[in-house]
Amino acid sequence: MQQSPNPWVTSEAGPDNASEQAPDTYMPPAAVINAPLRGMVEPDTADRLPRRTMTGPATLWITGAHGGAGESTIADLLDGARATGHCWPVLDDAQRKPAVLLVCRSNMRGLKAVQSALIQWASGAAPAVDLLGLAVLADAPGKLPKALKEFAFLVGGGAPRLWILPWVEAWRHGDVTAGLPGREYQRFATDLISLTNQPPTTPQQL
């Protein structure tokens, strides 16, 4: 029997050397998997993100893979972005695929939740979206523990692009009005502006 493609293997190098090569925060975008893959097994229904018809415009839809993922915070930081309420967005205009950014926290719960969302997308079980990538937001101050960092890069290999973003203390107090907090978030925003300015794509049959 033919083995299903594995979207979490991005190169011959495995997780053992990920901690030596991986930065602690921002990772420049580099497309690895940019469309659903044939042969992927769909996740159980209970592990899937729901879908929701969205009204009104947005240049980018922010989809949190779990509660507390930071989707509203990221949406507030980026002009033209809107949070989806932990759902895949579906647009009234069927000729257009919504541009989507998945977000999660860097704890094990968050990474496993977004892994399920990526399996859903890669298997074709999600609605037609233009998935730009995954943003992993720090769940606590300080360096990410080695095991979590390696797992974050493993999970992120199943997304078109991966951004690992640092802790922002001001957000703990609800202060998201001061603009982009640091160069990692500034580069992250620049990447997304560049990606969302590309010509829109249309749904394709798997």
The boundaries of the domain holding residue 73 are 23-35+51-196
Distances (CA, A) of 89 to 14, 47, 51, 55, 69: 33, 17, 6, 10, 17
For residue 2, being part of any structural domain is answered with no
For residue 139, being part of any structural domain is answered with yes
CA 38 to chain centre: 20
Supply angle C-alpha 201, 60, 5, rounded to 5.
60
The domain that contains 56 carries what CATH number?
3.40.50
For residue 13, being part of any structural domain is answered with no
Nearest to 91 by CA among 201, 187, 205: 201
For residue 205, being part of any structural domain is answered with no
Q: What was the pLDDT predicted at 174? A: 74
For residue 31, being part of any structural domain is answered with yes
For residue 59, being part of any structural domain is answered with yes
Residues 6+ apart with CB under 8 A from 197: none
For residue 141, being part of any structural domain is answered with yes
Amino acid, res. 144:
L
What angle do helix axes 146-156 and 108-122 make, rounded to 10 degrees? Answer: 10
Q: What is the DSSP string of 78-115?
A: STTEEE-SSSEEEES-TT-PPEEEEEEESSHHHHHHHH
CA 79 to chain centre: 18
> Phi, psi (5° rounding) for residue 111?
-70, -40
For residue 8, being part of any structural domain is answered with no
Q: What was the pLDDT predicted at 5? A: 47
Alpha-helical (H) ranges within the chain are 18-21, 71-77, 108-122, 146-156, 169-172, 183-196
Nearest to 43 by CA among 88, 89, 99: 88
Note down pLDDT in tens along the chain; length 206 residues: 444 444 454 333 344 443 334 456 666 555 567 777 766 777 777 778 999 999 889 999 999 999 999 999 999 989 999 999 999 999 987 667 999 999 999 999 999 999 999 999 999 999 999 999 999 999 999 999 999 999 999 999 999 999 999 999 888 877 776 667 888 999 999 999 999 986 544 433 32
With contact defined as beta carbons under 8 Å apart, do 51 and 126 qualify?
Answer: yes
Amino acid, res. 93:
D
Q: What was the pLDDT predicted at 28? A: 56
Give the total number of structural domains in the chain.
1
Q: What was the pLDDT predicted at 11? A: 39
Give me 140's structure tokens.
């606590």
